[in-house]
Amino acid sequence: MKKLNFLFLSFITFGSFAFFSCSESKQTQKVDDIESSQKEQQQEDKKTILFFGNSLTAGYGIDQEDAFAGLVQKQIDSLNLNYKVINGGLSGETTAGGLSRLDWFLEDQPDIFILELGGNDGLRGIQLSETKSNLNAIIDKVREKYPQTKIILAGMQIPPNMGQEYTKEFQEIYPAVAKEKNVTLIPFLLEGVAGNPDLNLPDGIHPTEEGHQIVFETVWPFIQSIID
């Protein structure tokens, strides 16, 4: 009889422990779900900075978080600003390719849109009028859908491989587009980085982590002026 009572008490004790453990587990899961939902909501409530570009934006050859777009996010987080960064960089992208994939990135409104395209056009010798037309079309498409979006155009330059005339006219595209479309212009995205072997990967085109830090320092004041 004592043995049966012991077994019965043991069963009750184990059952109670299992019940409380299960309840505690469910309660913990519920708290985790609430916290996760709150974080997702906070993320959705944040304004968006969209970097739309090629391998320079994507951070070719380094971790994306160490590319200049990722460094902008780190700066924003350190200042506790209500913005999130979306990196829309794609290696090898041209202005034509960017125009064709833009709609997908415009499903949600970007509050700040940084356009960094054209470098690959220049390196491939694409007709300058086409590059300019595509840059204009990208800006028009963003404006048409989201008139309040602030647009920044990142100016680019290319080596003189295609000849001095082509190189000069390519460089002039960016201030011309910025003036025609009344958008903010970063005169040269790779200022202080281009041509410096210590700040570029062995290909001589893509910045190292140190190079991206300098690019960030070039880009950030233009973003900050809009945020402020």
**Residues with catalytic function:** 55, 203, 206
The answer to whether residues 137 and 181 touch, using CB atoms and an 8 Å cutoff, is no
Question: 44, exposed or middle or buried, with CB in 10 Å at 0-12, 13-18, 19+?
Answer: exposed
Q: Which residues pair with 48 in a beta bridge?
A: 84
Give the Cα separation of 155 and 115 in Å (integer). Answer: 9
Q: Which two tokens stand for residue 120?
A: 């690959």
Question: 117, exposed or middle or buried, with CB in 10 Å at 0-12, 13-18, 19+?
Answer: buried
Q: Which two tokens stand for residue 167?
A: 């190189």
Q: Which two tokens stand for residue 51?
A: 């970097």
Pairing state of beta strands 112-116 and 47-53? parallel
For Cα atoms 128, 199, 203, give the angle at the middle one, nearest 5 degrees. Answer: 60
